[in-house]
A and B are shown apart, each in its own frame.
Chain A
Amino acid sequence: MSHLSERPDDAVVGLALPHESAALHVTGHALYTDDLVHRTPHVLHAHPVCSPHPHARVARVDTSAALAVPGVVRVLTADDVPGTNDAGVKHDEPLFPDVVMFVGHAVCWVLGDTLEAARVGAAAVEVDYEPLPAIVSLTEAIDAEHFQGGRPVVARGDVEAGLAGATHVYSGVTEMAGQEHFYLETHASLALVDEGGQVFVQSSTQHPSETQEIVAHVLGLDSHHVTVQCLRMGGGFGGKEMQPHGFAAVAALGAVLTGRPVRLRLSRTHDMTMTGKRHGFHAQWRVGFDDDGRLTALEATLTSDGGWSLDLSEPVLARALCHVDNAYWIPHVLVHGRVARTHKTSQTAFRGFGGPQGMLVVEDILGRCAPLLGIDPVDLRRRNFYVDGQATPYGQVVRHPERLAAAWEQVLTDGDVVRRRAEVATFNAAHPHRKRGLAVTPVKFGISFNFTAFNQAGALVHVYKDGSVLINHGGTEMGQGLHTKMLQVAATTLGVPLAKVRVAPTRTDKVPNTSATAASSSTDLNGGAVKDACEQVLARLREVDAGRGLAWEELVREAYFSRVQLWAAGFYRTEGIHWDSTQMSGHPFKYFAYGVAAAEVEVDGFTGAHRTLRVDIVHDVGDSLSPLVDIGQVEGGFVQGVGWLTMEDLRWDESDGPGRGRLTTQSASTYKLPSLGELPDELNVALLEHAHEDGAVYGSKAVGEPPLMLAFAVREALREAVAAFGPEGASVELASPATPEAVFWAAERARGEAPDHTHDGVVEGLPGAVPDRPDPAAPALHPRSEQAARAAGES
């Protein structure tokens, strides 16, 4: 057991505690960025002028009519930018564009004494557009070879030989839609120039340091002139990792130029039409199986729908490529990736960060090929699991594969899967118009930022003379319980009661140069940093104590009078990881998080409507730091994944009509996410036991993202239920999301009312449908972090 992971007796970590702000949440006393408007005098409100075109040159912007609207104070345009007119880190996101790239793209922003004045003013701004051709759908972009950024390749072995040696070869296409984050709190910023002359921006941001950098470069200031604070967020899910920067910069620009605080809060419609979402993906694949159904080779080309700019599309794609294996050993692999450029919102991070999309490809393949192989999908998945000593296609040995096997066995046992699958068969035989399915799927998800440099964190821990403790760390709270865990880590390390410790809001002037609260790794990183800071203080206190066993308060007081430093800056860097993006190989992940879900569904053959009857989950969080928080993450992630796969249905107008490029599901009434009615009647969640993780803080594992992918069980159960409408042994293609309509059409095909229903899109044999093989001279990924690390002489 490592020092990092070793847990003392009577640890505060491991206790099932409610969220540290729960009492504030339930009473409405918890403050979010936009709640501060009402305590900030003389605030100006910002409203965007949005493009109605998916792609157009901005020929003229005339703000005079807007300025004549009572209450309008100023209109912010490109001419006002003192620094760099760019809201991204790749210089492809002009804050005030001269070419609009999607419907909703903000051309300029109107500031008003009231939101109403700003809104009316925005409507009065005259903009002349010269429309340009637009590419809206992913398949249009693929056909037009309209790509952006690097084109990574993950390769191992000889895929042609692997396919040639296979008993069965299948090929096909898998498409999956994106997903709107629909955090309940839309993007919000509140900026002012404070009494010290610094630009102070409160922002709903998962990445305050990057928001700070963007605000600074837009304003033409050094970072030390700008402070960004995030109190808490009403959900983030990745949607506030890169997207907040431009909004914060607009608010800050307005504050600097007018001398008044500026509030920018997006309406739900603006949030949905202006900000990025989970990437939809298109995958072409060929796969080989041996006599026993073991995977021999996989070739695939994954194309993500990046939208108009890159932002995080390259790392999302990299993670997709690194998860196309999910839990399965595949000897020969060749996976190409590319990012399509479309005239839509710039798609971005979303819980799982490409991992879910990569994993869906292999789960779709197994689900569609199992009937053609004549192998029960439960067996097919299980027999392809990694075993000890095997490595992923990018070269990382899979540690603790037996834990996944243990979780699998536990789900089969606790979920009574064998007996219930027999019951499902009986039910299906008796019901021509209603069918059930029960599927079991695994999750293996790599933890750490792929890009090594981001795997660092800082913390600042103060012990005051009265013995109370204040902690700051670089992570942001968005509901995931990070602050709760950090309090538990600090109390455990210092050996003080939880009530002694308070966590302060995240601010860039407390802990600088932080990484995004993302990649599920914030507890690992910030927990390591908090623990380090606490240990520094504790070591000094122990010297003072000199074995006397003084009470905490007494010890602290004595230390102060002995002129001993009672605060410390902690730092943590994840050891033992390395990654080469150019080669797409290395050891990018500190460890893998595992999980297994079994789901039983029922489909109504008349409508395609479906219900999830029961779900059994065993998930691996290591030694849980905070079981109530962790179970909440598992359940919430699972339901969010079910939403992505079965309900949430982003639609863009792909017609040639005047609405081309418009998001047609831009509100809560047209974009549906799971409600209480989608909660399975029975949802059993267990945390895997004997799961100590030696390489992470107090033996825990990350939990934010991996459970989302447990939802594959629901999608696969739907596939099996749909298959039950048709003859045995037929493959079923299921659209993603598997909305009632999609399920209905799949059932119609299964019922044989369309041709070719036995293969349903799967091609058998060689050569099959060979995936596109992008130009070998296409650019690789070259992230800044690796270039910098190399320049500094690191591996």
Chain B
Amino acid sequence: MSELVRLTEVTKVYQGGITGALNGVSVAVEKGEFAAIMGPSGSGKSTMLNLVAGLDRPSSGTVTVGGTDLGKLGEAGLARFRRDHIGFVFQFFYLLPNLTALENILIPAQLKGNVVPGRARELLEQLAIKEVADRYPALLSGGQQQRVAIARALINNPTLLLADEPTGALDTHTGDQVMELLGELHRHGQTILLVTHDAKLATRHAARVISVMDGKIVDDARLESPDRTASEVIRVRGEEVSR
């Protein structure tokens, strides 16, 4: 695997408060990884994701994605970088209400000057929402809206898929399905960085859990995936045979 993302001594200071600030964060993510960033609210985990996405700039330190130092890009260059390399999935979907599902999915491609309705329909099919192509977001369930948002994030075949609490606004079952989908994309080679506070969901798909607290990385755990038998993982304990 080759390195895709590198944060070096990244600090982010916000005026008027410390919430979400980062303090000297260094971390690298390999191509093909599915890594989860976990931490309490205000710990800086979303800030990390926004810096990697080029949605925000660090106060100091460097952010490199696919060999490009984002600090060296101007606003237009950063916008191009985001369009060409980053897919972003948010907690609250952010679909444009006056466009249909299909039109929403096509926005990033149109910004790039590509008209790829074939690719969009392929994604609709892959994400099992083919039937909603011509519907407006208000008529879709939360799960369907998030699938449309994922399709929109994937339309330009991004190098990196970033997801910030993608299941936060969904019920457990729908959230599981959305995570299953991300797992599937990862199995097909997609690099994914996921911000979540749900350790159950994170560990199901991500083999790496980066813990952030108070603007610092406090742990970086790489998890194993052996096929353990039930008795190796759980032991239901019995009493001694009663007399």
Q: Do A and B bind each other?
A: no
Q: Which residues of A line the B interface, CB within 8 A?
A: none
Q: Which residues of B line the A interface, CB within 8 A?
A: none
